[in-house]
Structure 1
């Protein structure tokens, strides 16, 4: 009986049965877990039975619909018109067709029954049909199909008598040990629409859906290849139609093997191959074409001519051996002509293959795998025509007798089938996505089903093991909980409570773990019991702890009254179920948790337990209250005004909702850092707290109204004995007063701290002021934003409230941007003044670059005037800009003048004076008269520079000169001023009356001459003074003498004891060198006594200068030095120290790039 059942048992049936059983098991075990709104419809066995029947019915319905769809898809509708003539009686033909179809079905059933007997049990029937490859053998009648298979020496199974082949059958099964071959009758494949042929293809498809056939063997008679060309083409077309019909019907791509039979009828075949033994005759003779990249071999057809030519060459190479094996000349002639006979097959064979296997875009092209040549049996048939007249002449009458040919065996058959065709069963379906995906899907489904069964079994085992472990853990947890409860002993220590509650609450939330499911889960009853114990423990520990904390806070006089009020409210709620609100209590617990003496982890755990306690549905605490403590707390809280307490409770909530700040960078825009700074040093990223903005004010109003409304709701907290309370309007006014005060303080502090970036710290002061004067400048944006944020009346427009104190306080700021009718806003005038200042600073910079004095500072004075009566921070910003603009202009003057002095005067001064007389009295080198005049003359370098640049800054009415107060910021040195004063003294002494050249006029009067000398003579240029102890007479001199050499000479007689009788001095300074040789005593400003020693003998002369301003005994002449710079470096260093900031210079828009050396020096000097 088992053998009768197993052939009908398939893998699909087994899988379907497993799925049904698995589904029934899931329905029975898991459907009771399904519930909706507390209703479980499948809790009873009856409900589960109806669910099972419903699912089975649904499955049967789907199966029936699928079957109907498959049946309907096979229906074909013909729209041919009805025949006009009476139908021909085709009852005989119809009966023959019915017999043929029945015979096909019978042969397939018998073959399948035989094949299924040999399959192993695990293949479950159907898959035994896939053990061996199936091939369809096609060919015309007489092409040698049967002879080919009979002579292959394959081990074929002889069918029983009822399954044996009978003449006229549409097909024949050859059940071999290596393959199953289905030989089709030639009449069956005459037309593609033959009903018996279609039935064969249908049965093949049903028998082996995954791979109906592994290939097709097309047998072609060699004799028919040499027929007329039209017949070959017709046969090729019929072959192609037949193969395309197979591929379309079987829905699988398979290789086609073309076998040319009856090659022994080629003249010379027997003589050429007579030396081959049985083993050599079994080898393969033909061409196996390679499969292309697509697995279909369509591109290999073009290789056939070359491969066939190679076969011909191989035969030609064996001609010598074949001739040697022939016994007579006649057979040798036949063997010699055989290659030519074989070569004659190439052209018709190539034409046939080209017609049958050339790729076409309109149909699926058959896959040509190989072309082979065989000789199944030498039956002595008529030889084929010779390839040429010469071959016919050579072989005429040379045919051996038929009796000699009858004993010969087949050639090139056995290995062709065994070693080539039957070794490639896997080629069928290659390159077909449908087949590949179908196999993959089948394997995947099988793996999924097996995995599901394995997982289900493993799940049941795991469920049992994990549930046992879970029960053991619950028992251990209960034991540990009892131990911890005994250790705690009613302690109120929060750390001890956390350990106890963690131990009690661990089973909660453990339900639903995957490995504890599958119908064996026991966590729900365990969790219900554990949760009941856990909640009871929460009431015994957390609830008293929270009440104790509220009691302590409400009596703590160090706390704010609003904190004490919140604690009092929670304390009363825990003792009065009528006023209990879980959300209020939990909010207070979270706020109070920061003061608990536990670490962060314990605090988080204790809060979680408190959340569970106060989040329980239906929980209403009723703890006993301490009436004296409540009365004391109420009395302390009532001592503070209600408005102050409400405001103190309101602001923390407002700050929590608006934690950020409205920074200066947000108010003034991204360019704020270029032009604005904080006087306090705070960064621009800080500003006004967000609660003091319009958004914060809007939220404040809502919180204020809610707090005032909550006063009535929380009246029960203070008790009935509380005194009279202010009305809601009074409360709002009192709270608003406190809020507006802080609002104004916040904005006053910010606006009063805003300053403009110092012009001395900016790389381009004009660009900085230009940016401030722009229509979208950071200063304008800051002031406008501040005006908007301090205009709170707009927020009150919806309620019609009047302007707030904030609006009144900042009214001056608001009016800056309010334009009168037909006019401009006041801030526009300020922008115009700033624009004028930027133009002034540009002019200062241009003047500095051109070496010119700066322009008048009228724009700065106008800006300083405009700064008066302006609101903060505008007044300070404008005033500082005016002051720093003036300083910057003076800084440019200082640098420009210093550059001019060092560039135009200092180099020549050092070259003309350093190491020369009279500046250096000990020097033997004289300063030239021209150089002296070029430096000190009224039109000289020093006086010209002074008069053009420094005279306005010097007070020359005092001695010594001093810098005027307005020049203090120039930081010019005292040494430079002294040098200019000395130069003026030298100018007045040497260049009287504005002379362009040096001129010294004076008179000499001899006063005394030593008795040793008889005569004394003093010559200056071309003027000579003589004296010989007589009456003295004064003589006028001018130095240098006009038209005379600059010579100073003294002559005296007799010669002195040293033998000298005079001295001679040359050069423009000879007069002064002469005076330096003696002693010059000043009697009055214009009179001097010159005492000389001539060879040790005294001579005295009186020198009367032409003016009190004279070069004699002139200290300025020897004191004068060329100063290298006009600047006072020590004062500038101190200024840089005071003005310097860590931020360095600020780069303004439009001034990027390298700066000039003059600019760098100016900025370094300015700090």
Structure 2
């Protein structure tokens, strides 16, 4: 089963299976793969598929040959560089050798390298180059039996015929080792003195490390596959503990050097050689046949967990050593029975015991060699093995030596056994244990990490490429299928819409749905973000071409006729006053003349027409524009123009003055119509101060209406624009091409100049009127704006005036001289619009100069004299200082209040008023800006003043109201709690809380009379809410009502006279304090009453019936009378101070006529309870 699995998993077998699978895929799936827009199937034919399969196998074979060639090159390069080491390292080696010996060794090594470069070794996985074979290093002290073990190992040495059976001696960097070449591996048998480095230490180490560097260079992943440590058992058994310790540390040092230098952690196989020197070994195993002698005798340790270094495990060693010992003991009896020599029998019998005594020194040696060292990489001890290459020397009897030592007897040497020349336990150690584990070696960490990430990247890239390829192919096919379905759907919908299109219906909106479907169908393939994906699917370009062709054809049969009809309709209805008439006729004529056809002219007219025709239907305009672009993108056949529409349009156009047509043509020129950004000229501070009104063109001006544009406009008789306009008059018909004489051209240019000057004035007038000062947000911002405006150099007002003057002072300022020559006269005529010069020879001013003269004079001044605007800037600085006093005060709102109060009382005699006075004499634009500044400043002062008033109101009035009066009777009629009369008086009395506040804070800003009107100055006053004024008015009425006679205590007087009483009531009596009223249906007599009375404030009302039944109602408290009035019915008579008050209880009523001293009295409905103190004014 293993052989079958091994055969199937063999790399070559898997490669063949993969090639066959790909061939089947090519053969079966090739015809279904299509590429490109023409659906080409490159593998559709049998021949193509056969060629593809042959190419596939050819590439595989070529790759294999290339790999073999590379390996051969690597081997040759490695051996050449090994040989090259000789030049720098053989000098020291030759010191102990004769010249002849060195020459022989050099020639033998060179011949060996020549053979090795050409040799293929027969490995179980196939023939391999030297580079591909595993490489092992054998290290050990001198005389440890390394070479003997290799010679007697029974391994196959394929180069024995050419190079001899012995090892190849190294030279140069490898002079300290012998080379052994087997079919399974390359073995480097190092000299013992390399291990101990007890001679020429520096030279030996440097040369050897040079060779190791070559291995690292050419075998980056695994410079070696393992190391074999050969230790003579004789040394272990005969050395003292200190000698063994030194020996172990020396070997550990060599191992650490290899691990550190090579950068890998390789498996280490410890082989104790010369085991035949153990007493009884040769006698015990001499009957073993060849197969038994080739078996492995030793122990193999389990591999440690990855990433976890493991020191030598003594317990595991003891356990496995005991297992080896237990395998020997059962064989003792059988071997002793067959042996006849008594001495040999004794040796055989004692051999297990001899082996047992070896445990301790061996364990001690391994512990010292492979103990854990946290400063070094822990070596990977793979196993411990015992072997014998040949049987010679004096055996060691540790048992007899120990007994002799204990009893002080001389030790007796074991007799010498003649050499047998047999190898024990070596062959399979190499073939079954060491060589099969060639891949176990850890790779060079840095190089392996690089390879690891490269492999990951390559595998990831391949996986990604595979997934993406499948995804792309699937997506491409799916998309193309979807596109075909979408094209079909759009064409079906187009047919549905086309049915509803009538030739007599010229509405463009009617054809939009049908054209949209054709457009979408033609754009299906254009929506592909990655067009190359289409080529991977089954894309058929014929569908796309047909869809686009149909769309273009329908544009000419559906859209173009309706555009033609729209031109005809427009021209038939156009009037001579229509500014678009000229462009309309020109665009229509171009549709019928391919030589003069200009798509931009036609498009511009249609876009303008659609904007008017479909106003508010932005989507319709956008869709029509898209179809128009596609229509004009392709050549159009000239239309058969409607003669009637042409004649009608030409007739109307002939009515348009030539000057107007030429001026409109000049205005539409892109050179003159481009917008000039004035922001750079005005500066950032101007944009900070000024804002534009709605629909104004602030900070932007067409180039034609700047001074540079004025200079660039050529309105002379020879102007190219005028000539071109006359040349374009072919659109009017034959007779319209008549030539004008100079006199007629002069009149035309004068009219054109008139249009230009009028619009020039209008443009700059709109610019100035569009400028408005931004509203001030707070005092700090207003101060900053005032500082900007008042700046004598960088004021935004100066910037606006400067830009305006630079572009509205069109006449050149030339000293007054007589201009007698014709050339000077022509220049004067051009700039002034007049053929004559003014008095003194100075150019006459243009209408623009005259219109803006007053404005431009503001910033103009004679040498050394101040400008007119400088006085205004001074007024602005005064207003700024006025605000500074407020802002820098400890309490800004209080300072603003005092300033507002002072301005109100003074009637406006201050810096704000002065600014308004200065502004009133300035041009309207500047006047408006300054009025805004003054108004905004006054508004903010009042706003802050009100804030102060509100703060004082809360502290002086509202808080007292909340704490003493709120939710108490009589201010709240339904309240249970009654407010104290003292608190009421302190709030409402003259000089009380409310009255003091009104006199101090309200009276300067409000007419405190019956009207209670807010005082206004410059159109503004303290913004007190009408509701707050109503409440203050009520508080004043309460003061006048209850404190008219006594300024400290609320009181009022009135007369009462019986008016009517129920007949069932015999007597009615009303008393409060010591005052009493009584009525018994007798004479009606008036009586004066006062509240509060002298005898108290409690009120008692009594009804006595005819049946002597008495009903009494009593009211207690200081406000008892007011409670009685609130529960009674009060009606006003024709006299404003006379009331009928009806007292009632349990159906009994008595009406009294009450006459108050004033119309302002408590008998008015809710005269007191309607007062509510506002939280803020």
TM-score by length of 1: 0.53
Q: Is the 8 A contact 2:149 2:273 kept in 1?
A: no
**Structure 1 pair 263/630, CA: closer, same or farther in 2 (3 Å)?**
same
**Structure 1 pair 876/933, CA: closer, same or farther in 2 (3 Å)?**
closer
Which residue matches 2:166? 167
Greater shift, 734-743 or 101-110, is seen at 101-110
Which residue matches 1:431? 445
Query: In 2, distance between residues paired with 1:541 and 1:312?
Result: 103
Give the unaligned 5+ runs of structure 1: 1-7, 19-28, 31-59, 294-298, 679-683, 916-925, 992-1044, 1047-1112, 1133-1159
- Secondary structure in structure 2 of the residue aligned to 1:285: strand
**Structure possessing the higher radius of gyration over alpha carbons:** 1
The one of 635, 639, 649 aligned to 1:633: 649
Check if 1:832 corresponds to 2:849: no
The one of 391, 416, 425 aligned to 1:379: 391
Which residue matches 1:741? 762
Query: In 2, distance between residues paired with 1:480 and 1:935?
Result: 85
- Secondary structure in structure 2 of the residue aligned to 1:867: helix
Kindly report which structure 2 residues correspond to 1:958-1037, keeping only aligned pairs within 5 A, or say none: 971=1029, 986=1045
The one of 546, 558, 561 aligned to 2:578: 561
Tell me by how many angstroms 1:867 deviates.
0.8
Tell me by how many angstroms 1:613 deviates.
1.3
Q: Is the 8 A contact 1:214 1:254 kept in 2?
A: no
Query: In 2, distance between residues paired with 1:855 and 1:290?
Result: 100
Q: Is the 8 A contact 2:147 2:189 kept in 1?
A: no
Which residue matches 2:631? 610
Query: In 1, distance between residues paired with 2:1168 and 2:865?
Result: 56
Which residue matches 1:1063? none
Greater shift, 181-190 or 466-475, is seen at 466-475
Q: Could you report, residue by residue, the CA deviation over 1:340-397 in whole angstroms, capped at 9, with x for unpaired residues? A: 6544456776777799x9989xxxx996654624234683642459699746636976
Which residue matches 1:1060? none
Which residue matches 2:436? 422
Which residue matches 1:26? none
Q: Is the 8 A contact 1:254 1:427 kept in 2?
A: yes
Check if 1:868 corresponds to 2:917: yes
Which residue matches 2:102? 93
Q: Could you report, residue by residue, the CA deviation over 1:1040-1094 in whole angstroms, capped at 9, with x for unpaired residues? A: xxxxx99xxxxxxxxxxxxxxxxxxxxxxxxxxxxxxxxxxxxxxxxxxxxxxxx
Which residue matches 2:587? 570
Tell me by how many angstroms 1:425 deviates.
0.9
- Secondary structure in structure 2 of the residue aligned to 1:875: helix
Tell me by how many angstroms 1:975 deviates.
6.0
What is the aligned residue count?
885
Q: Could you report, residue by residue, the CA deviation over 1:859-901 in whole angstroms, capped at 9, with x for unpaired residues? A: 9422224312510032255257558867986997799699768
Q: Could you report, residue by residue, the CA deviation over 1:572-614 in whole angstroms, capped at 9, with x for unpaired residues? A: 3344455343443444455556659995786355224324215
Q: Could you report, residue by residue, the CA deviation over 1:667-713 in whole angstroms, capped at 9, with x for unpaired residues? A: 878987xxx9x9xxxxx895732575488955994999499854533
Q: Is the 8 A contact 2:270 2:383 kept in 1?
A: yes
Query: In 2, distance between residues paired with 1:472 and 1:896?
Result: 80
Query: In 1, distance between residues paired with 2:318 and 2:431?
Result: 23
Query: In 2, distance between residues paired with 1:606 and 1:766?
Result: 57
Tell me by how many angstroms 1:636 deviates.
1.8
**Structure 1 pair 798/258, CA: closer, same or farther in 2 (3 Å)?**
farther
**Structure 1 pair 89/845, CA: closer, same or farther in 2 (3 Å)?**
closer
Q: Is the 8 A contact 1:272 1:338 kept in 2?
A: no
Query: In 2, distance between residues paired with 1:903 and 1:160?
Result: 119
Kindly report which structure 2 residues correspond to 1:159-558, keeping only aligned pairs within 5 A, or say none: 162=161, 166-167=165-166, 169-170=168-169, 179-180=184-185, 182=187, 184=189, 213-224=224-235, 253=264, 255-262=266-273, 264=275, 282=296, 284-285=298-299, 304=311, 307=313, 311=317, 341-344=358-361, 369-370=381-382, 372-376=384-388, 379=391, 381-383=393-395, 390=402, 393=405, 410=424, 414=428, 418=432, 422-423=436-437, 425-433=439-447, 436-437=450-451, 440=454, 444=458, 495=511, 498=515, 514=532, 547-557=564-574
- Secondary structure in structure 2 of the residue aligned to 1:828: helix
Give the unaligned 5+ runs of structure 2: 1-11, 23-34, 37-65, 170-177, 334-344, 815-830, 832-844, 920-926, 972-979, 1050-1093, 1096-1154
**Structure 1 pair 492/265, CA: closer, same or farther in 2 (3 Å)?**
farther
Greater shift, 871-880 or 966-975, is seen at 966-975
Which residue matches 1:1005? none
Query: In 1, distance between residues paired with 2:1039 and 2:414?
Result: 149
**Structure 1 pair 405/814, CA: closer, same or farther in 2 (3 Å)?**
farther
**Structure 1 pair 335/879, CA: closer, same or farther in 2 (3 Å)?**
closer
Q: Is the 8 A contact 1:538 1:613 kept in 2?
A: no
Q: Is the 8 A contact 1:375 1:412 kept in 2?
A: yes
Q: Is the 8 A contact 1:216 1:257 kept in 2?
A: yes
Q: Is the 8 A contact 1:790 1:807 kept in 2?
A: no
- Secondary structure in structure 1 of the residue aligned to 2:634: helix
**Structure 1 pair 470/822, CA: closer, same or farther in 2 (3 Å)?**
closer
Tell me by how many angstroms 1:846 deviates.
3.2
Check if 1:878 corresponds to 2:895: no
Query: In 2, distance between residues paired with 1:219 and 1:97?
Result: 28
Q: Is the 8 A contact 1:690 1:696 kept in 2?
A: no
- Secondary structure in structure 1 of the residue aligned to 2:928: coil
Which residue matches 1:579? 596
Q: Is the 8 A contact 2:575 2:652 kept in 1?
A: no
- Secondary structure in structure 1 of the residue aligned to 2:445: coil
Q: Is the 8 A contact 1:134 1:214 kept in 2?
A: yes
Q: Is the 8 A contact 1:954 1:962 kept in 2?
A: no
- Secondary structure in structure 1 of the residue aligned to 2:917: coil
Tell me by how many angstroms 1:257 deviates.
1.8
Kindly report which structure 2 residues correspond to 1:644-683, keeping only aligned pairs within 5 A, or say none: 650=667
The one of 689, 694, 697 aligned to 1:689: 697
TM-score by length of 2: 0.53
Query: In 2, distance between residues paired with 1:347 and 1:591?
Result: 106
Query: In 2, distance between residues paired with 1:857 and 1:606?
Result: 73
Query: In 2, distance between residues paired with 1:503 and 1:331?
Result: 102
Tell me by how many angstroms 1:793 deviates.
2.2
Q: Is the 8 A contact 1:268 1:334 kept in 2?
A: yes
Query: In 1, distance between residues paired with 2:939 and 2:225?
Result: 104
**Structure 1 pair 469/126, CA: closer, same or farther in 2 (3 Å)?**
farther
Q: Could you report, residue by residue, the CA deviation over 1:698-734 in whole angstroms, capped at 9, with x for unpaired residues? A: 5994999499854533433333626756655753551
Kindly report which structure 2 residues correspond to 1:686-835, keeping only aligned pairs within 5 A, or say none: 688-690=696-698, 692-693=700-701, 698=706, 701=709, 705=713, 710-719=721-730, 721=736, 731-745=752-766, 747-748=768-769, 751=772, 770=783, 773-775=786-788, 783=797, 787=801, 790-793=804-807, 805=848, 809=852, 815=858, 821=865, 826-833=872-879, 835=881
- Secondary structure in structure 1 of the residue aligned to 2:394: coil
Query: In 1, distance between residues paired with 2:957 and 2:233?
Result: 122
Q: Is the 8 A contact 1:257 1:368 kept in 2?
A: yes
Q: Is the 8 A contact 2:280 2:350 kept in 1?
A: no
- Secondary structure in structure 1 of the residue aligned to 2:384: strand
- Secondary structure in structure 2 of the residue aligned to 1:569: helix
Q: Could you report, residue by residue, the CA deviation over 1:51-98 in whole angstroms, capped at 9, with x for unpaired residues? A: xxxxxxxxx9xx99x999989999789799999x99998355324432
- Secondary structure in structure 2 of the residue aligned to 1:220: strand
Tell me by how many angstroms 1:219 deviates.
2.6
- Secondary structure in structure 1 of the residue aligned to 2:807: coil
Query: In 2, distance between residues paired with 1:938 and 1:438?
Result: 101
**Structure 1 pair 1129/750, CA: closer, same or farther in 2 (3 Å)?**
farther
**Structure 1 pair 213/811, CA: closer, same or farther in 2 (3 Å)?**
farther
- Secondary structure in structure 2 of the residue aligned to 1:561: coil
Q: Is the 8 A contact 2:293 2:425 kept in 1?
A: no
